[in-house]
Structure 1
Amino acid sequence: MYLASLGKLALGSRLKALSDHFYGAADEVYRTLGAPIESRWLPVLRYLWDSGPSTVTDVAKAIGQTHSAVSQLTDKLVRGGMVRRRRDLADGRRTVLVLTDKAQDALAALGPTWCAVRRGVAASLGEHAVRLLDAIAACERALQDRPVAGSILAEHAAIKAMPLEIVPYAPALREHFYRLNAQWLERHFRIEDIDRAVLSDPERHILQPGGTIFFARLGEEVIGTCALLQESPGVFELTKMGVDETFRGLGAGRRLLDACIAEFHRRNGRTLFLESNSRLATAVRMYERAGFVMQPSVRPGSHYERADVYMIYRQGA
């Protein structure tokens, strides 16, 4: 499932998908059994049934929805003859929501249906239902103590405040060279034999022939890498660039690219080329802005099955 691959980034979307599934299932049950309500009405109707006449504010607070959402739903319930608005008998300045006789009769007849819902959910989800309810309760308590929007914004500020460093290869960083490249290869293509060989032994395949490897480090996290491979004296390939998807948008890719180009110049290189794939449009545009020029055909003798883009660096292009 694609959303599952996004982890916490798609938490809201996955919860919405689950919510829509349960709403749809409940509505199907209500329609089949002839119950004159909709699943999305239940929180408001049930709260008024249990608590008696209440303001929109009280209902919204009790069921964890916004005042606007409850007010809009109330309009639908009023039009459907399930709820009416009246002046609060104890405080004429306030308006309260009251169930109509139609709603009272409908809810009173739903006992067997709600019993079936509880049993059906248990039969369908088994012990997962209990764990899910416990997890939801724990999340609700945690969000009361620390709202998620504030936490996200605080983390974003902390990330933006961290210095982004470009550092040379060190043995302690070797595992990150494989991890970062394998991440995007597995996502977009596959790890070819040549990739596996180079990524598993970068000292032999990149450093010993006269190449170099750079890493982008954000605080204590290694978030990107790129290599400059010397194919022959003065001829270099820009290769094995990968940036952790979690940290894209911080400029790590361009910083790594600039570091490799600067190293190419420092070594008085004659030719700098790269191979890529046209599906990676964002990366290709970055290479073009850095001075790489698209060639009319793939590189002769290319080692990569996925390569359909061949670019050569032209200083000042």
Structure 2
Amino acid sequence: MNFDKIGEMALGSRLRALSTIVSEDAQRIYNLYGVALKPKWFPVFYFLSNQNTGKSITAIANEIGHSHPSVIKIVREMSKVGLVLEQKDTLDKRKNNIVLTPKGIDMSIQIQQQYKDVENAVKTTLNQTTHNIWLAIQEFEYLLNEKSLLKRVIEQKKIRESSTVEIIDYTSKYHTAFKELNEEWIKTFFKIEDADRKALDDPQKYILDSGGKILVAIQDQNVLGVCALIKMKNKKYDYELAKMAVSPKTQGKGIGYLLGKSSIEKAKSMGAKSIYLESNTILKPAISLYEKLGFQKVVGIDTPYERCNIQMELLLEI
């Protein structure tokens, strides 16, 4: 397979191919030195050969980074050829430890010259490379421990999908979508309240005519989400970020973040210095979104909503 032609997305396949090449040579190297060891046994064998006492399956698995079942299988194979055995823990008779047999100990002595030659061969090869693969793997593992490849792919998926999303100003033709999307999420968690009915039944009167704005997220003429900026009578804040609703079919694709960012930019363009919002702490993804947008928790503001148990503000830099 031409991995260079496929590119970086074939990283896993290329590493497996490289692993196969190295493993095949490793078995030949064991044969060269007369060491009856299989490459896949090496991590367990090496770990045990450097221990003063036996170790449990769990301890071995944690140390070498293998799964518990994998270590059990390797230990069974090594036991059949007389390299390891199980013995009761001296302190806890309920626990079995794995130790090298006298045969295994002899092998650990015999293999020392092989270790030296292999280490020098690998170092020599690495010194001949422009990019040290050992250091590169360490760095790559560090980055994946910080954020898995799956999470990184999900991020790229969101970026690609959101690139074709448009955030536009509301017109009356989007009234049905604005109302239905909001009613859907409210009924899922709470109940429709009087303040909801007024804004959803007549957004022109209760939001737009009062100096507010409504933004609509569309993709291929389909409405994905909506969000409103309601002009506040409270002099402390200029606008309330409200009535944000995203279609369940598109949740998790970053539409809420796009609507939130666009609403903030819209508020700035209208001269706003502050934005306020109300929510409920059971809506954990929503709270995380607001925090990501820069909102911080506040208290002491009167609210018409029974469901409100958290209030947040965003102070804008104009």
Give the TM-score normalised by the residue count of structure 2: 0.47
Give the TM-score normalised by the residue count of structure 1: 0.47
